[in-house]
Amino acid sequence: MLKRKKDKFSVLLTEIAKNLDETAEYFVSYKVTNQTTLKEFSDTLKEYETKGDHHVHTMIKELNKAFITPIEREDILQLTNSLDDVLDGIEHFSATLEIYSITSSDEHIDKFSHYIRECAKEILTTIELLADNRLKDIHPHAIKIKEIEHNCDNLHRKSLKNLFGKETDPIKVIQYKEIYETLEEIADSCQSVANNLETIIMKNA
């Protein structure tokens, strides 16, 4: 049996999700140790974000040209934007580190990073399932993304409690509070991807 050719929107969504997955892998594996490696980290994530923006612009252009889309164009656009929000959040995190010249991690940042990496893997799986029109298989992965986001909520509270309880330098309190909140917002963006996928399932399954 011949495998049907994927439509251009599925191809673009998959490219966006693959770029996000590669970004998250770099994000969790690269170790910042000094100002030089911090700049390289930030610059590389900016390159991933720029590549993602290019994919989004291409998607918008194709949506504007298309007479018929495989699912509602508004749903494709919303899913595209939510994927881009995750990527933007990761780039914003690296920019924040560079602004504050923070060159060391802590256990909370490491845990957030690994959770975000897990989310990106699940997101790529869901987008590949969507591209194959296997809508009913998406739901367990969307649930997994939401579970990871819930873990990030708990980690966010724990990290702030630890920060306010142990850190005596007010500047560091301000800096790390923003860093933890940025990481939590990335997890929230991952949940938005899951919510958009569930909307697509509900409308099309």
In a domain, 3, yes or no: no
Report the CATH number that the domain containing residue 98 is assigned in CATH.
1.20.58.220
- The percentage of residues in the chain with a pLDDT greater than 90, rounded to a whole number, is 93
Q: Which residues contact 120 (CB under 8 A, 6 or more apart)?
A: 20, 21, 23, 24, 25, 86, 190
pLDDT tens figures, 125-138: 999 999 999 999 99
pLDDT tens figures, 80-91: 999 999 999 999
Residue 165 confidence (pLDDT): 97
In a domain, 2, yes or no: no
For residue 138, give the DSSP letter. Answer: T
In a domain, 77, yes or no: yes
Counting the structural domains of the chain, the total is 1
Residue 71 confidence (pLDDT): 92
In a domain, 1, yes or no: no
Q: Which has the closest alpha carbon to 152: 190, 123, 124, 178?
A: 190
Contact call for residues 126 and 140 (beta carbons, < 8 A) = no
Distance from the Cα of residue 66 to its chain's centroid: 27
Mean pLDDT of the chain: 95
Residue 205 confidence (pLDDT): 76
Angle between helices 35-65 and 8-29 (to 10 degrees): 170
Q: Which domain holds residue 41?
A: 8-204
The CA–CA distances, whole Å, from 11 to 58, 181, 192 equal 11, 33, 21
Residue 134 confidence (pLDDT): 94
Q: Which residues contact 63 (CB under 8 A, 6 or more apart)?
A: 9, 69, 73, 76, 77
